[in-house]
Amino acid sequence: DTEVTQTPKHLVMGMTNKKSLKCEQHMGHRAMYWYKQKAKKPPELMFVYSYEKLSINESVPSRFSPECPNSSLLNLHLHALQPEDSALYLCASSQEPDGNSPLHFGNGTRLTVT
């Protein structure tokens, strides 16, 4: 079982909807991440939060908006998505934002945009 919890597990939304993905960890990790994974592809980094501050935005379109309310929570707000945004969205955390801390992943949210 993963120690990073993501909700919902599945989400179907229309292109005009607004929805949010949620991620929670209670391991005291100080870095949290959002990744996007298309079928049979590696995860692609979207955002990194380090000590609750956004440290990396990999040129993600503004229809994706991250939020880190506190050190345990990470949200991804979705608005006006496109069908090509359908993917598995993975949240991860690491003890520190430095290079040698392994990432702990949640099981993801399977997003379908119709």
Partner 1 sequence: AQSVAQPEDQVNVAEGNPLTVKCTYSVSGNPYLFWYVQYPNRGLQFLLKYITGDNLVKGSYGFEAEFNKSQTSFHLKKPSALVGDSALYFCAVRARTGANNLFFGTGTRLTVIP
- Enumerate residues 27-46 that contact partner 1 by CB under 8 A: 40-43, 45
Nearest 10 degrees: CA dihedral of 18, 4, 94, 43? -60
Residue with smaller CB distance to partner 1, 70 or 100:
100
Q: How far is the CB of 56 from partner 1 (least distance, A)?
A: 7
What is d(CA 90, CA 106) in angstroms, rounded to the nearest whole number? 6
**From the list 29, 46, 104, 113, which residue makes contact with partner 1 (rule: CB under 8 A)?**
104
- Structure-token pair, residue 92: 């991860």
Indicate whether 110 belongs to the interface with partner 1 (CB under 8 A). yes
**Triad 111, 104, 33: Cα angle to 5°:** 55
Q: How far is the CB of 80 from partner 1 (least distance, A)?
A: 27
Q: How far is the CB of 62 from partner 1 (least distance, A)?
A: 21
Count of CB atoms within 10 A of residue 88's CB?
Answer: 16
The reply to whether omega before 42 is within 30° of 0 (cis) is no
**From the list 7, 18, 27, 98, which residue makes contact with partner 1 (rule: CB under 8 A)?**
98
What is d(CA 5, CA 81) in angstroms, rounded to the nearest whole number? 23
Give the total of residues touching partner 1 (CB under 8 A).
Answer: 24
What are the residues binding partner 1 (CB under 8 A)?
2, 4, 6, 40-43, 45, 48, 56, 58, 90, 92, 98-100, 102-108, 110
